A and B are shown apart, each in its own frame.
Chain A
Amino acid sequence: MSDQVSPSEDQPTGLIKSTQELGAGLFLIAVALFFYWQGLDLPRGTLRALGPGMLPLALVTMLGVGGLMMVIYSMLEAGPRLERWSLRGPFFVFGGIILFALLIRTCGLVIAGPVSMIFGMLASNEFRLKEATIFSIAMTVLCILLFKTLLRLPIPVIGTLLEPFFPF
């Protein structure tokens, strides 16, 4: 798995001996602080009658301590480096999903399907426009047949915007 390290390429240099561990710790501390801030106004109640804010506070505290421990470990024990983050994959894949969410009601599956799939396919560096277009249209037809015709899911095939053009 990703946390397997070969010691040769990860010789600790300087104070931080594992950037992955440091990042993990800082991430948890940030999450803990965010939820702490969100839960500030919630009544905590007493032990006899716990309020809605008590458990979140306890969890946030433990999470923060855990994050802090990771930050400390990152300076003590050699560990894996932070991997390179790619932007292309997340941008196009999550972008494609967001496009689907935005288009499905208004334009229906006929538009949302191909658009989100073609956009998502840009995430791969083997993208070919012609292939992507044909494939996404074929998949959309298949999805309509499968989910709408066969399984009768209430998924909009033709959205509210296009309905006036298809009066049947």
Chain B
Amino acid sequence: MEAFLGNLALGFGVALTLKNIFLCFVGCMVGTLIGVLPGVGPIATIAMLLPITFGFDPTGALIMLAGIYYGAQYGGSTTAILVNIPGEATSVVTTLDGHQMAKQGRAGVALGMAAMGSFFAGTVATLLIAALGQPLTKLAQLFGPAEYFALMIMGLVFAVVLARGSILKAICMILLGLLLATVGTDLETGQERMTLGIQDLSDGVDFAVLAMGIFGFAEIVRNLENPETRDVVRAAIGRLWPNKDDFRQSYFPILRGTIIGSILGILPGNGAVLGPFASYTIEKKIAKDSRRFGRGAIEGVAGPESANNAGAQTAFIPLLTLGIPPNAVMALMVGAMTIHGIIPGPQVMTKNPELFWGMVASMWVGNLMLVIINLPLIGLWVKLLQVPYRMMFPAIMIFCCIGIYSINNSTSDVLFTAFFGLVGYTLLKFGFEPAPMLLGFVLGKLMEEKLRQALILSRGSFSTFIERPVSAGLLLVAVVMLAIALLPSIRKGRDEVFTE
């Protein structure tokens, strides 16, 4: 307990310097500004804004980046409520009741409650990270290559199970991601693989390039194709501060959402994405009058938004303790950390305690900042959302181009991004969901490395993965999850959850 408080004190000491508060503020601000744009989710936002953090010291840069991340998340919810366009998968649920509330002139209350729910969830999640950080790091030190490999397999299986649509397609997307990760110089032999003789590919495909192509550019083309039906709320925004009744109805949904979101967020394989869905389903099930849902029930905003934010934050746990990014956003964080010379994993906490705890503390500061900045600025976001798409997309385009160019000062990166945009567009046309591919790509290199190490240690015997108890347990969970997901009755239920 003492160590826990000591660490938090150290963290707040770092996070509450004037400079770091300012960086956190700027991060939240621009993150929201970009995240509010329809069709621009957190992944594209972070990839776009990554270069602006380059000029600062590692701690400052990561604090700013965390701010951008929360800003982007919250911006997505704002768009979901005001325009009925989810910025990303996790705010889909918010559109259901949030937009209905907005139509009834209660947009302000919906946004206010979303912000307060998120703040509460963020506070709990921050404490959870601080509490779980140390024990999990100890656990990580017991992990050998076989366990790491098994854990990543489990993460990928989760991603398959949680993806929408066909399971076969999701598996193929993971395989494609893993395959793309093999492009570049082989780490052990130094041999170039699949580079087509292109010099710029010898370092492999940059994650930001892939993510921006698939989640930035492909999305633009996609949006241009479907004639715009953006219905920006015309009704008044109304008061922001929820009244007594709103609060009474929201306490428990926020609490439940926070718990669900926190737990799911820790799971490898983007468990966070399930949080809002699970929270919404539960709130609807236990509500006295479930018909209110879909017609502007405040519980349908408060619960899922809390789950969303809790999960977004606890997703840092696998990254900071095990060095395994559980989703695409965290993979971008890995990229950003590596640029500053920090390799995410259990050693961060021991080697750079100021950075680690400073970042944890700044998460809480960032959440508080969002409540303070966003509520007065809602009018501005509404104005921004009224800009027609024909003017919005070239702006997104140029920001993306400048962002990608600035990461490595490389024009070929920009060209590759265009190529991956085309790939992403093709995948969408064939009904593939690209998110699992990104996760496969993220984990690919590490998985191959651990697989090779494990096989060297076991002298080429695959039984090592089953003989070691932890690895066997993780693989068993993976197999069971996959088997359950393939059962016809569960599949039906799963489809219902996602189409609701």
Contacts and interface: CB of A to CB of B under 8 A. Distances in A.
A60 B221 CA distance: 29
B429 A83 contact: yes
A120 B414 contact: no
Contact of A38 (B188, B196, B399, B448): B196
A63 B175 contact: yes
Contact of B430 (A23, A49, A60): A23
Given A93-B421, A101-B411, A120-B393, A52 B191 contact: yes
A60 B175 CA distance: 8
Interface residues of B, number: 69
A94 B194 contact: no
A121 B175 contact: no
Given A63-B172, A126-B390, A153-B406, A80 B182 contact: no
A2 interface: yes
B418 A98 contact: yes
A94 B422 CA distance: 8
Nearest to B165: A3
A116 B418 CA distance: 13
Contacts of B179: 31, 35, 56, 59-60, 63
Interface stretch (B109-117, B293-301, B452-460): B452-460
A52 B186 contact: yes
Contacts of A131: 391
B331 interface: no
A155 B172 CA distance: 38
A104 B394 CA distance: 16
B208 to A, nearest CB: 15
B169 interface: yes
Nearest to A23: B430
A66 to B, nearest CB: 4
Interface string B389-406: 111011101111110011
B225 A86 contact: yes
Nearest to B166: A3
Contacts of A43: 189, 191
B460 A153 contact: no
Nearest to B432: A24
Contacts, number: 198
Given A48-B460, A102-B411, A123-B224, A3 B431 contact: yes
Contacts of B391: 131, 135
Contacts of B178: 55, 59
A107 interface: no
Nearest to B186: A52
A50 B397 contact: no
Contacts of A28: 172, 176
A124 B164 CA distance: 30
Given A42-B193, A50-B451, A121 B431 contact: no
Contact of A154 (B186, B225, B397, B406): B406
B169 A24 contact: yes
B414 A100 contact: yes
Interface string B413-443: 0110110011001101111100000000000
B394 A139 contact: yes
Given A47-B460, A56-B179, A39 B430 contact: no
A15 interface: no
A139 B398 contact: yes
A116 B401 contact: yes
Given A48-B459, A116-B398, A97 B417 contact: yes
Contacts of A66: 168, 171-172, 175
B225 A70 contact: no
A55 B398 contact: no
Contacts of B405: 100-101, 104, 155
- Which of A94, A116, A117 neighbours the largest number of chain B CB atoms within 10 Å of its CB? A94
Instruction: Name, among B172, B221, B455, B462, the residue most crowded by chain A CB atoms within 10 Å (CB to CB).
Output: B172
Interface in A87-102: 89-90, 93-94, 96-98, 100-102
Given A94-B217, A94-B422, A147-B406, 14 more contacts: A3-B165, A38-B194, A43-B189, A47-B461, A49-B456, A66-B171, A66-B175, A83-B429, A90-B422, A90-B425, A116-B401, A121-B390, A126-B388, A126-B390
18 contacts: A20-B431, A31-B176, A38-B193, A43-B189, A50-B455, A59-B179, A70-B168, A73-B168, A90-B422, A94-B421, A94-B422, A100-B401, A104-B401, A116-B397, A117-B398, A120-B397, A124-B390, A135-B394
- The 7 A-B pairs with the shortest beta carbon distances in the complex, nearest first, are A48-B460, A47-B460, A52-B186, A101-B414, A24-B430, A124-B390, A97-B418
Interface of A: 1-4, 20-21, 23-24, 27-28, 31, 35, 38-39, 42-43, 46-53, 55-56, 59-60, 62-63, 66-67, 69-70, 73, 80, 82-83, 85-86, 89-90, 93-94, 96-98, 100-102, 104-105, 109, 113, 116-117, 120-121, 123-124, 126-127, 131-132, 135-136, 139-140, 143, 147, 151-155
